[in-house]
């Protein structure tokens, strides 16, 4: 039996706990026996109130040991008090696998588990995580990341994606798919999938930069040098380059690449259009250029997206037949 402990602090997010906890609990329904022993723990046990006001009963740290410990996110500063850090260190000593949901990554970072590793958290907190812990390689675009025995995930719903990935490691692909059907969620979003769209990520302040981005999206199949975007924004080349970087945090070339990858990803998920045709339609010179852009931005290839989408489709068809 796999023993999994969920560590919560006062102010924890109820969904950061409930999502992955429910996923592991549904494995029993999927397989007909109980492969997981699940416990919620806190530094001293008893009732712990989350940020929704809902109290949950917990066991004290030290009463049990776990194969996997999952640190549940919540309010960051109250989470990082000395007592919680001591409890976290005690929990991970005997664990073969450690994970976090959302801001739970800050606890892992504070006790040194994320040093020199890739990690993620909710997009709202990635900049803070990186600045406070410069040794971490924060990949804020990812839904979840596995680096050795350490797993981190983004906010709320991504905790379910993380749990399904862990279930797949423990129980195999078929069981993980069955659990996703029981939860009525896709099986499963790739860990490198973006937390949000490229357009919403950039969020420029001025109308002119928004116009340039809208123009880029509407003309992705065409060449989009910076001169053309600056002309669409009715700014000089120098003014446009400075304003674009200031308002989006990206160079125009990287922003266009993100838009192309995002559009290609949607087309890969929505149909059976050949990859070569998609690459041309979104403005990549050839499929290899598109593949390199996918790997650079998300860590996986277009072929991986297509394959995962087919598996999800098979899962949904199977669920209709049962």
Q: Supply the Cα-derived Rg of the chain in whole angstroms.
A: 22
Domain with 268, as residue range(s), is: 198-308
The total number of structural domains that make up the chain: 2
The span from the CA of 239 to the CA of 226, in Å, is 11
Q: Which helix (DSSP H) or strand (DSSP E) does residue 153 occupy?
A: strand 150-153
* Three-state DSSP state, 21: helix
Residues 43 and 171 in one domain: yes
Is 102 among the residues known to form the active site?
Answer: yes
Residues 204 and 176 in one domain: no
Percent of the chain scored above 70 by pLDDT?
Answer: 89
The span from the CA of 100 to the CA of 90, in Å, is 16
Summary mean pLDDT of the chain: 88
pLDDT at position 105: 97
Residues 291 and 264 in one domain: yes
Token pair recorded at residue 197: 């769209």
Token pair recorded at residue 21: 């906890």
| Structure confidence by residue, pLDDT tens digits, 241-291 | 999 988 887 899 999 998 999 889 888 877 788 999 999 999 999 999 999
pLDDT at position 126: 86
The span from the CA of 28 to the CA of 134, in Å, is 41
Give mean pLDDT, residues 67-85: 96
CA–CA distances in Å: residue 39 to residues 3, 61, 126, 283: 8, 11, 28, 50
As a dihedral over the C-alpha atoms of residue 68, residue 72, residue 77, residue 83, rounded to 10 degrees, the angle is -50
pLDDT confidence bin for 156, thresholds 50/70/90:
confident
pLDDT at position 315: 38
* Catalytic residue selected from 9, 102, 265, 315: 102
Task: Judge whether 319 lies within some domain.
Answer: no
Token pair recorded at residue 91: 């929990």
Task: Judge whether 37 lies within some domain.
Answer: yes
Q: Which residues contact 73 (CB under 8 A, 6 or more apart)?
A: 12, 13, 16, 100, 101, 102, 103, 104, 105, 121, 122, 155
| Structure confidence by residue, pLDDT tens digits, 186-201 | 665 544 455 445 554 5
Token pair recorded at residue 217: 């999206």
E strands, the chain, are 2-7, 36-42, 46-49, 55-60, 68-71, 97-101, 118-119, 137-138, 144-147, 150-153
Task: Judge whether 322 lies within some domain.
Answer: no
Residues 103 and 178 in one domain: yes
Residues 226 and 167 in one domain: no
């Amino acid at each position: 039996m796999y023993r999994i402990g969920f560590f919560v602090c006062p102010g924890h997010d109820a969904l950061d706990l409930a999502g992955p906890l429910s996923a592991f609990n549904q494995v029993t329904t999927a397989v007909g026996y109980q492969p997981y022993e699940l416990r919620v723990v806190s530094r001293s046990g008893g009732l712990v109130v989350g940020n929704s006001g809902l109290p949950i009963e917990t066991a004290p740290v030290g009463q049990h040991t776990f194969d996997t410990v999952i640190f549940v996110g919540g309010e960051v500063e109250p989470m990082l008090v000395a007592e919680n850090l001591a409890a976290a260190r005690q929990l991970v000593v005997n664990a073969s696998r450690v994970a976090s949901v959302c801001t739970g990554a800050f606890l892992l970072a504070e006790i040194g588990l994320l040093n020199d590793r890739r990690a993620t958290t909710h997009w709202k907190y990635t900049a803070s995580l990186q600045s406070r812990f410069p040794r971490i390689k924060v990949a804020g675009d990812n839904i979840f990341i596995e680096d050795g025995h350490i797993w981190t995930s983004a906010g709320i719903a991504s905790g379910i994606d993380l749990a399904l990935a862990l279930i797949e490691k423990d129980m195999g692909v078929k069981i993980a798919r069955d659990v996703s059907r029981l939860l009525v969620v896709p099986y499963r979003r790739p860990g490198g999938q973006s937390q949000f769209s490229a357009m919403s990520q950039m969020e420029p302040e001025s109308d002119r930069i928004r116009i340039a981005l809208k123009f880029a999206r509407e003309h992705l199949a065409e060449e989009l040098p910076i001169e053309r975007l600056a002309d669409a924004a009715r700014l000089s080349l120098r003014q446009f380059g400075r304003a674009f970087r200031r308002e989006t945090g990206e160079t125009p070339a990287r922003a266009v690449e993100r838009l192309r990858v995002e559009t290609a990803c949607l087309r890969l998920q929505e149909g059976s259009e050949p990859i070569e045709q998609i690459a041309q339609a979104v403005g990549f010179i050839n499929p290899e250029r598109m593949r390199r852009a996918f790997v650079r931005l998300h860590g996986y290839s277009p072929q991986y997206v297509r394959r995962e989408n087919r598996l999800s489709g098979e899962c949904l068809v199977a669920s209709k037949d049962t």
